[in-house]
Every structure is written in C-alpha cells, then in structure tokens.
Amino acid sequence: MNFVCSGNICRSPMAEVIMRSLAEEAGLGSSLRIISTGTGDWHVGEHADPRTTAALARHGFDGSAHRARKFQPEHYEEFDLLVALDRSHERVLRAGATTDEDADRVSLLLSFDPAQAHLRDVPDPYYADDAVFDAVFVMIRKACEQLFRQIQPAIRSGASR
C-alpha cells in the first residue's frame, strides 16, 4: 500500500505511520508493505514536516524515521493499492497509469470512510497551523481505520495460508 500526497512530508507520512501502527497492533505488520510517496520531488530525502511529526507525537505516534520519496512508475506493479490523499494526486496517478489495471489500483483515502467520503480531499495543512495538522491527523486516522477494517479479513486469510 502506497499513500501519495504532493511532497511526501505532511499527509501521506501521517497515513503511512497510522496504517503501519494499525497493522502492527493487529499482528499483521509483516503481512503488509506500507510506504508513502509524493507526486513531486522537491522534498526527496527530507524528514517529514516538523508539524507532521509533532501532530503524530501528540497522538502517540512516531514519525521521526520518515524520509520523503517520489512516486515511481514501478509502484503501479509493486502495490495493490495506491491511496491518493486528494483528487489532484488521484489525477496524477491515473494519468501515469499505462493500463486499466494500474488505474484501478488508485483510490482516494477518504473514499474508504463513509462518514468522510463526501469530502473527497484531505486538506493540505502545509500553509496552516498546528490545529489544522491535528484536524488532518484525525481525518486520516479515521479513514485509515476504515480502510484497515476493509482489508484486514483478506490479509488474515492470506496470512493463515
């Protein structure tokens, strides 16, 4: 699973850390490959935005190991699910897909949470304050919990084989 936002320093690292934690708590950490990437390359190699790591820490998560990376064409084949944080990322990912199967791997994060699906986009907190980072964290956490609930049965059945 690859979470994708713009620069891979705010929203997608939050989703990666949260989803990895959910998988580990369920005893399925080794059954899922979870990363995050950005559609742009301007932050490659950098830590997550300090406000991202602070928001994660306020909620009991550690984002200190994150290093930004750019989405690569081979990710279409490497990941069953490419999770876009907003419609602009979804458009970029679908435009880069060379097959219908690759395009079908792309979904919006909020589409997995019935309570938030109508919003479609996780807002970019980059130009905002800590309160917005915390609000974005809550949105992402709720959507990741719903996504994990949906994929957990398939992971468990695959892990038991």
Phi, psi of 155 (to 5 degrees): -65, -45
CA distance 45 to 117: 32
Report whether 15 contacts 4 (CB < 8 A): no
Torsion of CA 81, 86, 88, 89, to 10 degrees: -30
Q: Which of 41, 102, 124, 134 is catalytic?
A: 124
Cβ-based neighbours of 148, under 8 Å, separated by 6 or more: 19, 22, 23, 26
Q: Is the dihedral of CA 50, 141, 152, 99 positive or negative?
A: negative
Report whether 84 contacts 93 (CB < 8 A): yes
Q: Which of 11, 20, 51, 141 is catalytic?
A: 11
Is 124 an annotated catalytic residue? yes
Is 10 an annotated catalytic residue? no
Is 130 an annotated catalytic residue? no
Q: Tell me which residues are annotated as active site.
A: 5, 11, 124
